[in-house]
A and B are shown apart, each in its own frame.
Chain A
Amino acid sequence: FDQEKKIKNRESFSFWIPSQSNVCCPFKLTLSSLIVARVEHLSPPAKMKIMVAVKRVIDYAVKIRVKPDKSGVETQNVKMSMNPFCEIALEEALRIKEAGLASEVVAVTIGPKQSIDTLRTGLAMGADRGIHVEATGDLFPLAVAKLFKALVEIEKPGLIILGKQAIDNDCNQTGQMVAGLLGWPQGTFASKVVLDKEKQEVMVDREVDGGLETVCLNLPAVITTDLRLNQPRYATLPNIMKAKSKPVKKYTPEELNVGTKSDLEVVEITEPPKRKAGVLVSSVDELIDKLRNEAHVI
């Protein structure tokens, strides 16, 4: 098993070992059976950095078209925007910073050259710095998560916020994978985030199938945002001007030592089966009649 050394204060260490109560065949955990001991470096709370992922996607209002050769979705001359969930993620990070609980918000984008536009939007919204990992070709979430992990090891944020899914591939994987690779706790589909800097914890309300689940995570942690977490701000013109001079650091996957060769291959992109055209009925009586005698659903 992994073991974590949690540094409670600078002078002493405390070992935290999972409890073995209520189990029927208890393992005997001794120091000699530890496989990996990992030291976690906790930044002093006053300087907590938040890293936010932002992705450039086809705008949510665009009606997409599948290319006739089935190789993908048409993106030429199509409006591109920041993924709506990423806007919410960035907004939350900015609010946490404005509340005095973080010192810096770093926006990160991983994608081709044009992704810089999305990063600049993020800087215009209020992020302090940007990082652009320039990578072309189909990048699947595992590669993105590994690139993110490499950046985390450089930047050492105390909190990572991502959108729960990108509205292009609708994967809903990257945040969870980043958390898994880092061994950090995750609060996914967040509709409310409350940071407790003193306790180094964050309470997250999550939108789940059965309602709202509240979890409490030790920092550092990964949060993915759901729709109702906040209403993102618009970038004001003065901020758009200021953003031009905010620093953006560029990396390539090679510089970060991350291989992007994927274990997934897209075979083809097709349109979903079309529904048969419907009819307009002119009264409730006609509707009930059709549902009963034609569609046989009531």
Chain B
Amino acid sequence: MAIVRALRVPLRLRPRFSSLSSIAGSISTLVIGEHEGGAVKAPTLSAVEAAKYLGEGNSVSVLLAGTGSSLQDAAEHAASCHPSISQVIVADSDHFVHHLAEPWARLVQLVQQREGYSHIVTVSNSFGKNVLPRAAALLDVSPITDVVSISGPNQFVRPIYAGNALSTVRYTGNSPCLLSVRSTSFPEPTVAADFRAEKAPISQDSIRKSRYVKLTSQETERPDLGNAKVVVTGGRALKSAENFKMIEKLAEKLGAAVGATRAAVDAGFVPNDLQVGQTGKIVAPELYLAFGVSGAIQHVAGMRDSKVIVAVNKDSDAPIFKVADYGLVGDLFEVIPELLEKLPEK
């Protein structure tokens, strides 16, 4: 049964520190949550799922911030969306409408100082990457970011060198242990759970030295790149934004998301949020099709965990063929139309 609580923060803050080893057995996790349109977003559920691996009897609280009825609806949803969630904390203030790092990090610090969790978890998407390290600095602890595997309350594996090596690290510091996890490594389960939630609105103030101006994004009906089952990616060989429409057509046929290499984004064929790679999005779909992609280390870093990789490239020496399960040496301008013709409708 999940309880939604108001957060009342005392003006005099009593920091609570305890070493992790002394609280073994009393693990409690705060998940930094995101919501949209009155529901908790999928990445938050990945973070909740990851929290399970921290230890037995881990009680998970989800922290949501924002304002208005969509926040309250999201809190209701959070209270029932995963069996591990025992509490939802709501921070209701217009400081959180645009999820800036400064008020958010301060909020996490205050919640931690009040509640004393052993772990704080978020997903390593652009929100988590922006907020978690700042919160860690305020709490004076080293965070462990982009975790792909958790083997207990203080041992984690994270990729380094564009995923060409894996680093196993042990956290030996004070509570809380802060981590961000890759959502592709902790896929959210499909669960239906029972709930009864009490809610109370809370107030949370924060210093504002930054302000949100706008978001420019593309309208699309394609599934979200981060969790699509099929991804079709184009590289610089597409030669133009006009040609990239072929990739989009193929994606539509397959019910897939569209991805791109850095070269294609730099050349202006597609916007930045389609970039797959070491410093772009990390994806791990069932099927990844790469057209005109050379397979540079930095791109492979973003898709190497895909279940099946298909590569089409005119150059038989392209490095992409080393990582592909199925490779076709050929001209994408001939192959894609042929695929469009011969593939069944999704």
Contacts and interface: CB of A to CB of B under 8 A. Distances in A.
Contact of A142 (B142, B170, B206, B218): B142
A144 to B, nearest CB: 11
Contacts of A22: 67, 93-94
A266 B167 contact: yes
A2 B338 contact: no
B324 A215 contact: no
B95 A288 contact: no
A12 interface: no
A137 interface: no
B278 to A, nearest CB: 7
Contacts of B201: 24-25
A278 B287 contact: no
B129 interface: yes
A126 to B, nearest CB: 24
Given A27-B203, A170-B278, A270 B165 contact: yes
Contacts of B307: 297
Contacts of A176: 101, 129-134, 137
A262 B172 CA distance: 8
Interface string B310-346: 1000000000010111111100000100110011100
Contact of B173 (A169, A228, A264): A264
A231 to B, nearest CB: 10
Residues of A in contact with B, size category: 35 or more
Contact of A275 (B144, B212, B304): B304
B101 A297 contact: no
Nearest to A285: B342
Contacts, number: 292
Secondary structure dominating the interface of A: mixed
Interface in B124-148: 125-127, 129-138, 140-146
A63 B300 CA distance: 13
Top-7 shortest CB links A-B: A263-B173, A211-B217, A180-B137, A23-B203, A176-B133, A173-B133, A180-B134
Interface of A: 1-2, 4, 18, 20-27, 29, 33, 35, 58, 60-61, 63-64, 66, 73, 85, 140-142, 145, 164-165, 167-181, 183-189, 191, 203, 206-218, 221, 226-228, 262-272, 275-276, 278-285, 287-288, 290-291, 295, 297-298
24 contacts: A23-B203, A35-B13, A73-B165, A171-B145, A172-B129, A176-B137, A179-B134, A180-B133, A186-B130, A191-B272, A212-B215, A228-B272, A262-B142, A264-B173, A268-B167, A268-B168, A272-B166, A275-B304, A284-B338, A288-B339, A290-B326, A291-B308, A295-B308, A297-B307
